[in-house]
Amino acid sequence: MSFSIKQILRKYFIMGSQNCNRNPAEILEEAVKAGITAFQFREKGDGCLAGEAKLNLGKQLRAICQRADIPFIVNDDIELVDLLDADGIHVGQDDIPVESVRKLFPNKIVGLSVSNAKELAISPIDLVDYVGAGPIFDTTTKLDAKEAVGLEWITNLRREFTKLPIVGIGGITTENATSVIESGADGVSVISAITAAPDIKRAVTLL
Ligand code: 3NM
């Protein structure tokens, strides 16, 4: 697989079974066909799967990405990265420290969520391949999401880090995705804009 990080961030779909009101594998298949550029398996939050059930769903979703040559990234689960031979791992500020993640996976994609200047100040940006910036807009998908930081957060990050791959997250829709890119992000990461879309092909095309 060959890809540039900036390219794969363009339409970055994130999902776990808790986000789906129908078969997650079907949703991912449709999203892949519609043109997503990366996928993150994020089995987290109310009603999520654990243990064997999580692993089994992960295997299914991993296989879909493998067939389509779409990077498969695991959210905050070191064991699963190995078990599924994922292409990368995404962590938040309260998850496993980036320093440990980078040591464990020197050659995998490592992403980190950075929500504000305080978090940025304590983040080892030089160790990550990309940052997830947000929540840009209000979101109801993640119950413990921080306060929306707005497009200025993207503008600020881009001003400080001219080359850093940046993906916006949180409340991004087909209507506001362009504003995120125009503010300097390389891409948009979305959950509900795809999982809840009446027409996934249309949604991904418009992102
Ligand atoms: N992380 P939707 S916001 C998983 O700010 C996640 O770090 C966020 O879902 C962060 O696209 C979020 O439906 C939820 O708003 C994104």
Collapsing DSSP to helix, strand or coil, 58 comes out as helix
Cis peptide, bond prior to residue 135, ω within 30 of zero: yes
CB of 170 within 6 A of ligand 1: the answer is yes
User: Residues marked as binding?
Assistant: 40-44, 75-76, 95, 113, 139-142, 171, 191-192
- Please state whether beta strands 88-91 and 166-169 pair in parallel, antiparallel, or not at all (unpaired): unpaired
Under the banding of pLDDT at 50, 70 and 90, the label for residue 192 is very high
Phi-psi region of 109 (alpha: psi -120 to 50; beta: other; left: phi over 0): beta
CB of 166 within 6 A of ligand 1: the answer is no
- Please state whether beta strands 109-114 and 88-91 pair in parallel, antiparallel, or not at all (unpaired): parallel
CB of 139 within 6 A of ligand 1: the answer is yes
Name residues whose C-beta falls within 8 Å of residue 169's C-beta, 6 or more positions apart in sequence: 14, 113, 132, 133, 134, 135, 136, 188, 189, 190
Under the banding of pLDDT at 50, 70 and 90, the label for residue 201 is very high
What percent of the chain is predicted at pLDDT more than 90?
Answer: 96
Identify the structural domains of the chain with CATH numbers, from first to last. 5-206 (3.20.20.70)
User: Residues marked as binding for Mg(2+)?
Assistant: 76, 95
The per-residue pLDDT for 146 is 84
CA dihedral sign, ordered 104, 109, 114, 118: positive
Catalytic residue numbers? 42, 113, 142
Distance 2 CA to ligand 1 centre (A): 27
Single-letter residue type at 205 = T
Per-residue pLDDT tens over the stretch 7-33: 999 999 999 999 999 999 999 999 999
207 token code pair: 């992102």
Distance 172 CA to ligand 1 centre (A): 8
Q: How many CB atoms lie within 10 A of CB 4?
A: 9
Under the banding of pLDDT at 50, 70 and 90, the label for residue 2 is low
Half-sphere exposure (CA, 13 Å, Cβ side) for 170? Answer: 24
In angstroms, the Cα distances linking 164 to 20, 47, 111, 159 are 32, 34, 11, 10
Show the DSSP H helices in the chain as ranges: 5-8, 24-34, 51-68, 78-83, 98-104, 117-121, 151-160, 177-182, 192-195, 200-206
Per-residue pLDDT tens over the stretch 109-149: 999 999 999 999 999 999 999 999 999 999 999 988 888 99
State the Cα torsion 22-24-30-34 to the nearest 10°.
Answer: 120
Name residues whose C-beta falls within 8 Å of residue 80's C-beta, 6 or more positions apart in sequence: 41, 54, 55, 58, 74, 86
Distance 143 CA to ligand 1 centre (A): 9
CB of 19 within 6 A of ligand 1: the answer is no
